[in-house]
Amino acid sequence: MTVHEPIAAPTGKIATIPDDMDMLRAAVELTRDISAARGAIYWPDMLLSAALGYAGLAGAILLDTSWAALACAAVAVFALYRALLFIHELTHIHRTALPGFRFVWNLLVGIPMLTPSFMYEGVHTLHHARTRYGTAEDPEYLPLALMKPWSLPVFALIAVFLPVGLLVRSAVLVPLGVIVPPLRRLVWSRVSALAINPDFRRRPPEGDFARMVFWQELGASVWAWCLLASTRWLGWRPLLIALAVISATAVLNQIRTLVAHLWENDGSAMTVTGQYLDSVNVPPPALLSPLWAPVGLRYHALHHLLPSMPYHSLGEAHRRLTAQLGGASTYDKASYPGLLPLLARLVKSTMVAR
C-alpha cells in the first residue's frame, strides 16, 4: 500500500471520473464472506466503550486532583466518542441483524448524550445515494476545499456549542413544539439531523420511523429535564464538566469530518469511483487513526464502496483489495498517511486563488 497526493482529476472536475469496474467488482466479490455483522464484536465494543467513557466522566467530576481529573476527562472524550460513533453503524446494518442493539445503544449512549439514533437514521443514507453525494441535496457534504480558509476553523469550532444546542433542543424546543405545531415542524426540519449542509431540510417522519422518533424524543426530553433539575441539588459543576467533555468529543468528530473527504466536488453528480476518490482511507501503518477515526471510519473511502460492510470487516476487506488490485490501482489512490497531512492538504486547497 502506498499513499498519494491529490488525485489526478483537477479540482472541480472530480465528477467526470469514470467508474473503475474492475475495482467495483472486486470490492463485492472479495468480501462476500465477511459482510455479516457479528454481535460478539459489536456488543462488547459498544458496552465497554460506554462504560469506560462514563467511568472517565465520573472521575473528571469527582476527583479533586486536577491532573487526575484531566486524565479522566481525556479517557471520557475518546471512549464516549467511540461509543457515540456506533450511530454510524446503526444507519447501515439491517434492522434484524443485531436484535436489541439499537434499543440498548439509544438507552445507554444516544439518549444520555442527547443524540438519539433518529438524528442520523434516514439522513446518512442520503449521503450515500448515487445521485445525491456531493450535490446540494447531500446533507453531509460541503465543498470545503473550494471555500475560504476561515471556513475551516469556523467549521471545527462551531461543534463546541453542540452540547448546549442539544440540551436546549430537547429540554425546551421539542416540548414547546408539542403545543406550537409551526415550531415543531421547524425544529424537525432544521435541527433534527446530524448534517453539515446548512441548506438541508428534513422531511417529516412517517410510519414506524415516526413512532420510533416519538419515543426517542420523549426519552431525550425527560433526560434533559433531569440534567437541568440535578443542578438544584448538585450545583452546576457536574453538568458543566459533562458539557465540556461532550464539546471536546464533538470537536474531535468535527475534525475527523474535515478529513473524511477531499471535499473537492463542485456540486455535480458523481460516479461511484468519483465518490470513492473524493473520500479518504487512513489505513495502517497510521498508528493514531483508530483513536480519531474509530469504529471503522479510518476506512471511509472503502465504506463508500461497501456501505453495508460492518466496521470490524473493513480492515480485512482493505487488505484483500490491496493485495488483489495492487499499489498502482485506483483503489490505492484513496489511501493517505494521516490526519495532519490531510488537514494541511485541505488548508492548502482553500488558499488557492479561484
The tally of domains found in the chain comes to 1
Please report whether residue 333 resides in a domain: yes
| 333 and 276 Cβ atoms separated by less than 8 Å | no
Q: For residue 148, is it within any domain? A: no
Residue 338 is assigned to a structural domain of this protein: yes
The answer to whether position 211 is within a domain reads no
| Residue 79, C-alpha cell as written in the block | 471512549
Q: Are 175 and 162 in contact (CB under 8 A)?
A: no
The three-state secondary structure class of 261 is strand
Helix (H, G, I), strand (E, B) or coil at 281: strand
The pLDDT, as a whole number, for residue 354 is 52
305 inside domain: yes
d(CA 171, CA 231): 14
Q: Which residues are paired to 299 by β-bridges? A: 281
State the amino acid at position 223 in one-letter form. Answer: W
pLDDT of residue 266: 86
Query: Is the overall model pTM greater than 0.85, yes or no?
Result: yes
Distance between CA atoms of 4 and 303, rounded to whole angstroms? 19
Give the domain range for residue 285: 14-35+263-351
Task: Confirm whether 134 is domain-assigned.
Answer: no
Q: Is residue 23 part of a domain?
A: yes
**CA 21/CA 40 separation, integer angstroms:** 34
Amino acid identity of 154?
V
Per-residue pLDDT of the chain (354 residues; tens, 9 = 90+): 343 333 333 344 677 789 999 999 999 999 999 999 999 999 999 999 999 999 999 999 999 889 999 999 999 999 999 999 999 999 998 888 899 999 999 999 999 999 999 999 999 999 998 889 999 999 999 999 999 999 999 999 999 999 999 999 999 999 999 999 999 999 999 999 999 999 999 999 999 999 999 999 999 999 999 999 999 999 999 999 999 999 999 999 999 999 999 999 888 889 999 999 999 999 999 889 999 999 999 999 999 999 999 999 999 999 999 999 987 899 999 999 999 999 999 999 998 745
- Residue 124 placed within a domain: no
**Residue among 118, 125, 160, 153 at smallest CA distance from 139:** 125
Residues 6+ positions from 45 with CB-CB distance below 8 Å:
82, 86, 295
Q: Residue type at 33? A: D
pLDDT in tens, 221-272: 999 999 999 999 999 999 999 999 999 999 999 999 999 999 998 888 899 9
